[in-house]
Chain A
């Protein structure tokens, strides 16, 4: 009897000791592994090869980058729904620049950064210094970016620049993870360049958020703006920086996306902002600000795309299932967050 009570007490104190960030992060990681392993067991073939996992990374590198930016803004208590539009604008502008403007793929990177920077400066200024709701500002930003994409070029087209195609086909071989294909030939596992960029950004942002003064300021501003101000943090500048970094990351994400698809189209990256927000939320970033983790966001993206792959390979390939599953997952995680917050308040 006594020992039972003891363990119960231990459990509750353990529950209290786990911070919001850690609890949400743990839920996400567990969910991802459970999903992936059960997919391996029940759906087999498609998920057993390591390359299947790397393909998820290849396809979602751009989303990982934009979702990291989104998490950063959400940690400060804001939101940025213009990222999908910026990605589309960047890929269209780069495509036009390469094929009609005679540019090379390396100067196109500068173009991508410049677009991201421009959006970041304007949106950051409006949100931080004029105190306008971030949702409205970035909603306008999203529509502006989408409209501009059509103005830059109307029809979708594939890029035929040679230097770019070479860069696009560059693959990073991962040793020891290859598999034997149907013809019996050993094929190396690979990731695209974009994945390397994405992983670098995840690591850098993680370190910045955890160990630098600026990183802690993001959390402080999101947690409680008044207290942050009293601690001597420049709240406006911090918010401005968060939006700036988010838009620049959207620019980089746009280039990585462009590198993956190799074409420009006004309908590119449609709904990407929603996927980025969903991955951040699934990854344990709180909408109310102050709580979040880049590693969680990374796993959020992986969970999101794994569930989409599961839906596709379980034979439900009608297009509507993807929308419904993503929304259902978002809904569940939102409710879990809200319940956790309510419990905290009562405690």
Chain B
């Protein structure tokens, strides 16, 4: 750390301050995109969707749509002046379909009308002549037919085939795990307001304003300079607004340039769920060789994921699966095959964990099977396979793990959760309870932090200090509820020695901070916190130099704290110093830039250091299952999670708790169903069931690891926390397996999500 850093007093940082908008949330005064004042002449847009999973579009007749009450205009692919693309990486996804449709729910046209209802009614009136084509509706069929959005990938270390063959014990299994809808409470929305000289201003509920800006510019045949994207907050996102928001924004913008009027597209919940991407569901085959102690000798994974019709973010999502199918375990001999299947279903996308959960789910299943085969406590087998320290510590992609705290966390949790005693008590309970069965499991999490695409690991910030000593803060990060803005404000407050109340958090805005990466990969506070720190330090340095000069003291005698500045023996208000500096023509505005150090990774060989560091945690879940019906319920959860030195323990606790419950939803009640025609059947909260209040375990103990500063130089020693806790919920799934395992069937074939039906199926499959 440099001299400046040493002088920074941690006043705000580390404090459990409320979310910066909490008082606005609770009073209804927090403005989301649909709450913004509507400009005059605003038109409302609705989208006409394909009713077929795969078809050629013979003819599209929009006569009735145009004639409907209130309709002002319609837009087809042929009306797009620029590039008809919303693919964020590979340009393989159209904003509006051209000659074929590839999933039921794909956008074919847009209609603008005076009211939302008029637009939505009109969108139903199109006469579309489809020529049906054969759809591919599941990943296994896609593999069979060689239907992929991207080439399959493999990663091999050692000689897994031989080792598995020669291992004392061997197991093989096919696992299926479902996808998941993000189910942010605020659906996708974008409002485009025309600006002079062909400019466009977009208010978008997006995790990635930069991408919205660029894709809108491409589609409307403009340059990036002509398009501005602003997002003050989202009503939840979870990855679902990383790439998906661009489609919505592009449609609003296309309607705006056609009509010359402001246009707003707000998706109805059902349309949102039908039209936009979700977490990938996977089918995994594993083949594992192990010894009598349960230690893995070699393992082979074949992953097949449902990517939908286009690449979207499926490349990096599936890469992350390959990077996380070790979870906490050293896999000396391993082969990983990853198929990125093209299916005639919505293009799947980012969702908290980003492929990591699916990789971890696979290895945890294998480990659980190994333990149950050997009649060992699964926790023992897990611990036997943990990465070592100084040995057995290199991942399958060649990154040495330098910050392993798995054993320490497991020790702590085993004790605080009273794991062994409770496991014994549960065994006793089950012996005397024929119908209700309880189960318990402890599972760990090790999650790599950084975008695996190295170039995305950069961030910018903009800090202004005004003459009255108050601060305007911008950075490239977006607020989706995770508390990013308050965390970064806490950093800036301490860097400038001002109270957090002196700082105004501002909307993410591409005209303030350019070229920002998506707020994703849990990297928001790591990267934007650092960038804002850089900006704040520039200003502080200038103020320090000025104060030293002005008051004739050494720079080391200038200290900033709590809105005051000590200059040698004297003190003055921060605002007074700022006023003096302004008078002396000192610049009080600065940008900050940060790029994550040390990462270096070769995508072509899947080797190197994709991750700056790892975040760790572990959870114990206890459940009860009704073996007559498969109904199951979480009774108790204990978590120990590593946030490094937390920037804000309240926000971090919220991420851990919320992530866990969301993960439990993925593995229990949340089930996506398609019918034989490829139509999504679960597209509303009436049919798609995320956890409710009563699903929260009656006993829910979460501990953030203390005195656990990140070994890497992150912002104030903190660690990323957005995604890692999601995967703590794998403990719930294995607790259910534990509950239904019997002597005659110690390895129940339970699929995820463990709905009552899935659980009963697993129980009955085992029954003689």
A binds B: no
- List residues of chain A with CB under 8 Å of any chain B CB: none
Interface residues of B (CB under 8 A from A): none
